């Protein structure tokens, strides 16, 4: 818009796939320009070069702030496409620490070779997490993946697959077939998914499915505890693992946990129809940072915490007008 200072940053794409942001902290800035009759604004200076910041960026935080907000390298992909490094600046990765990325399914394509009986493994480029698989390593951080392999694995083959996944810094979680079916099909897809998209289905809730959901989240948390080292950062993804922060912090009281929701978050009127709504909210509130696609979803979450649990909530702007921190003063 005319007369408005704009901040931006270049992205590098290779063969249609996102590779990285420009390699510097801060933003480029286009100052408010005066237009001449019949002329058009030149948004890109003629001497613009990738990875070169021609002048110090303007501050994006208030002068009274004690610390600057996360840089675009840390929070620019808050819409959920970052996977690993997109929100690391919002949390604290200790010196030499790793980023433990936890998702229901590993972002890998895993098949078994019939002739050699060996495992064929490759990154699943259709996964939003796999698109940034090398981002953490590019920033000098070790990334460790935790999740289900996405294929049926016989108990006798689990050890060999676990060994093969070491080369991808991945740790598998093996679920019993019946537990996994009830967890995913009956609870996640048949119940949580519609509700989180503001659709109520009568009779969709099942207490046995809820127990399976708790069991699976506990198994994931146990695997996190097994591989966790001090100064590691734990970053969980999506509605399958809403209880993981609670189960993890029961064993790792000082762990830093983030949770990003890749679905909408329903209005409080819809969310209150969930019989286990308090348990889900407490699980999410045990995360140090919560990420949502839109501020609207974050506002819905805040309203649910206020109306369902009577919490006093605050809102703090930490970046531009589109990024906010949504802290809540409750944690188990």
| Tens digits of residue pLDDT in 225-283 | 999 999 899 999 999 999 999 999 999 999 999 999 999 999 999 999 999 999 999 99
pLDDT given at position 242:
97
In the predicted structure, residue 329 carries a pLDDT above the cut 50: no
Dump the DSSP string for 46-84. TT--TT--SSPPPP-S-TT-SSPPPPHHHHTTTTTT-TT
Confidence at 320, pLDDT banded by 50, 70, 90: very low
Stronger pLDDT, 292 or 4, i.e. the higher one: 292
pLDDT given at position 127:
78
How far CA 311 is from CA of 270, 284, 291, in Å, comes to: 19, 14, 19
Which stretch of DSSP H or E encloses residue 260? strand 256-260
Confidence at 24, pLDDT banded by 50, 70, 90: low
The dihedral built from the CA positions of residue 232, 68, 284 and 84, taken in this order, carries a sign that is negative
- Under a CB-based contact definition with an 8 Å cutoff, are residues 216 and 180 in contact? yes
pLDDT given at position 47:
53
pLDDT given at position 202:
81
Spatial CA neighbour of 148 closest among 125, 175, 124: 175
Percent of the chain with pLDDT over 70: 66
User: From CA 279, how far away is CA 309, in angstroms rounded?
Assistant: 11
pLDDT given at position 212:
97
In the predicted structure, residue 49 carries a pLDDT above the cut 90: no
- Under a CB-based contact definition with an 8 Å cutoff, are residues 223 and 171 in contact? yes
In the predicted structure, residue 146 carries a pLDDT above the cut 80: yes
The dihedral built from the CA positions of residue 211, 212, 216 and 217, taken in this order, carries a sign that is negative
For the full predicted model, state whether its pTM sits above 0.75: no
pLDDT given at position 35:
39
């Amino acid at each position: 818009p005319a007369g408005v200072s704009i901040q931006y940053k270049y992205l590098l794409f290779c063969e249609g796939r996102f590779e990285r942001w420009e390699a510097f902290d801060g933003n480029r800035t286009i100052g408010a320009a005066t237009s001449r009759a019949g002329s058009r604004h030149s948004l890109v200076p003629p001497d613009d070069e990738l990875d070169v910041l021609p002048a110090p960026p303007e501050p994006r935080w208030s002068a009274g702030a004690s610390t600057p907000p996360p840089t675009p390298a840390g929070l620019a992909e808050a819409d959920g496409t970052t996977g690993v490094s997109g929100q690391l600046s919002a949390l604290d990765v200790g010196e030499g620490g790793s980023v433990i990325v936890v998702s229901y399914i590993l972002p890998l394509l895993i098949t078994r070779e019939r002739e050699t009986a060996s495992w064929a493994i490759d990154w699943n480029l259709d996964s939003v997490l796999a698109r940034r698989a090398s981002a953490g390593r590019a920033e000098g951080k070790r990334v460790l993946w935790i999740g289900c392999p996405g294929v049926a694995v016989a108990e006798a083959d689990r050890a060999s697959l676990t060994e093969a996944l070491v080369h991808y810094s991945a740790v598998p979680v093996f679920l019993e077939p019946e537990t996994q079916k009830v967890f995913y099909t009956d609870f996640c897809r048949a119940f949580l998914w519609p509700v989180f998209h503001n659709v109520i289905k009568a009779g969709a809730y099942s207490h046995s499915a809820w127990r399976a959901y708790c069991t699976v989240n506990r198994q994931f948390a146990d695997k996190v505890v097994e591989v966790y080292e001090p100064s590691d950062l734990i970053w969980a993804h999506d509605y399958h693992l809403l209880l993981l922060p609670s189960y993890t912090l029961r064993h790792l009281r000082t762990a830093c946990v983030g949770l990003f929701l890749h679905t909408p978050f329903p209005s409080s009127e819809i969310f209150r129809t969930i019989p286990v709504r308090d348990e889900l909210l407490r699980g999410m509130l045990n995360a140090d940072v919560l990420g949502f696609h839109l501020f609207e979803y974050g506002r819905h979450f805040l309203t649910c915490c206020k109306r369902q649990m009577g919490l006093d909530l605050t809102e703090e702007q930490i970046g531009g007008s589109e990024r906010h921190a949504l802290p809540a003063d409750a944690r188990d």
